[in-house]
A and B are shown apart, each in its own frame.
Chain A
């Protein structure tokens, strides 16, 4: 039995579509009620919060999972990234009001102590540390764009898809931190134990990508 963790929320539909394209059994999960554990043929699916997916895989509760590359980086979990689905494409970026853009154009010393509101404190710390800047991090759970508008922070580090929410709140992308996409990951032990099943994900992801490029 292969245990597969799926992120609840907006990425779930994309994951189900991918499972279907990879010929994985997923009829029951499409018709699910409020259950969080669904078994179908030789696969057990568990539905968890996106930020918790790496934890389930890291501890071996789930053998494999779909998870965003931003979440993998933020949790720091030790996982095997077996394939990049190239779905759920977006980017992690630093954004802020125009006035902040000037500080980003000056010497890095002008950014020392910059206040950044974010759902990604670990990424923020690492990103600025690598540039020799110590930021003041304000961890928030949502509506990050509010923080600089109300003076809680100088800027934000967050996911940007179309940039419309930023524009609507008078914010601009100042720096791109990383490209984000949906990855298929596996537990360090499961990669050996279930390789015969997991290799299908690499092969089928490649086939799907090639089909897309045609």
Chain B
């Protein structure tokens, strides 16, 4: 017989998952509901599905352009963040450096600031540098804002890797960069996956910086979706369709990376 406590935990888990998934289910349903049924007083469960909201998102609100902008900015920013974070975290975790612990906490503390505090200075700087409403500008902001957190998480993972493996690699004639590329990188799969997921999801959903620093050319998805609400109407169907489409790349990225999140890859290296 199963333990009743275990059973209660299972039920609670199912309940929790249901609470989390309910909005996603509802928004997916709304995205294919005809307009009049979205606006009906009673919730409608059975209806004729329609793709009109998806079409409208692309035709009326340039969803395709925003999707492309978001993809260029977020994938580039995440990629650059990961490379810089790996190198910085490796240095902080391995090289004998006075005050490495204090320095990493200081780096993380940059993230304690509310985003709005630095959004304004960014705006003024970017105005002078001609980076307002540009992909490069947004990539710089996301790399700068995401890096402290990424370095901090990666450092924790890298500190757990046995030092002897790197020493063996040094004796095998590998230089620092080769050690990172051939030894550290393959062994840091779980750390890289977790950090990349956090960085990607944050950047993909980021609203405030994009609101301040983009206008037309580099508008990202969250900003574009917000434009679907105006003073007179809220296009629930189009918003829902856009949100569903915005979710897809995130789900794909998380799905692709999560298989690397298995622990114990380093098993067998020592002892």
A, B co-complexed: no
Chain A interface (Cβ < 8 Å from any Cβ of B)? none
Chain B interface (Cβ < 8 Å from any Cβ of A)? none
